[in-house]
Chains A and B, each alone.
Chain A
């Protein structure tokens, strides 16, 4: 149980294009999902908290218009990197919080984005 999928796992795009990343909780409902960014050899940095049916809450320093988050259902959240630039290249990883038991966050496998 508690499986989170993420798609795509890899994406290479040209500068200026937009990229959409999907995060799905497969066997549980998640009213809250989280989006993280991780640079090489560093820890995870929380970008935003995605709430089903309401606007996402962004961390300080994260551009809302740059990183669009939509949490359309209890099992799906999407992150769209708009007008991507090379500095947006990173590892993006989502998590979903299982409200049962320990409120553990279960993570997706991550998406590696390379912007050329």
Chain B
């Protein structure tokens, strides 16, 4: 079964510190993609970072990095130097092939609150 699991419903982090948001996935596909999206209170889904299953190096985008451990099927998001504007919901998602088409499967999300 294709599944994304985010076990942290909520997280706190002090401003300027780093935080790791957990994500594990389950798939039988050999080729898949992993995404992280940020959803602020306004509701828009902002694409943060992508990791392909065949990518040998961990993806990085500015302050965001993805700690990809394929054997453990985990794709944790690391946010360095947290800012107040990072407070939002964060969703991990996997591109999976289902019913002859590719779809995004989302985790339940983690709400991050950055403390000043």
Contacts and interface: CB of A to CB of B under 8 A. Distances in A.
Interface of A: 2, 32, 34, 38, 42-44, 46, 49, 57, 91, 93, 95, 97, 102-110, 112
Contact of B107 (A43, A103, A104): A43
Contacts, number: 52
B44 A57 contact: no
A71 to B, nearest CB: 14
Contact of A44 (B33, B46, B91, B102): B91
B3 interface: no
19 contacts: A42-B108, A43-B91, A43-B106, A43-B108, A46-B104, A49-B101, A49-B103, A57-B99, A93-B45, A95-B104, A97-B102, A102-B50, A103-B102, A104-B47, A105-B104, A106-B47, A109-B42, A109-B43, A112-B43
A106 B46 CA distance: 8
A110 B44 contact: yes
Given A91-B43, A103-B95, A109-B44, A34 B101 contact: no
Nearest to A93: B45
Counting chain B residues whose Cβ lies within 8 A of the other chain, the interface size class is: 20 to 34
Contacts of B102: 97, 103
- Which interface residue of A95, A104, A109 has the most chain B CB atoms within 10 A? A104
B68 interface: no
B69 to A, nearest CB: 20
A107 B42 CA distance: 13
Interface in B30-49: 33, 35, 37, 42-47
Given A43-B106, A102-B52, A107-B46, 11 more contacts: A43-B91, A44-B106, A46-B103, A46-B104, A95-B45, A95-B104, A102-B33, A104-B50, A107-B37, A107-B44, A110-B43
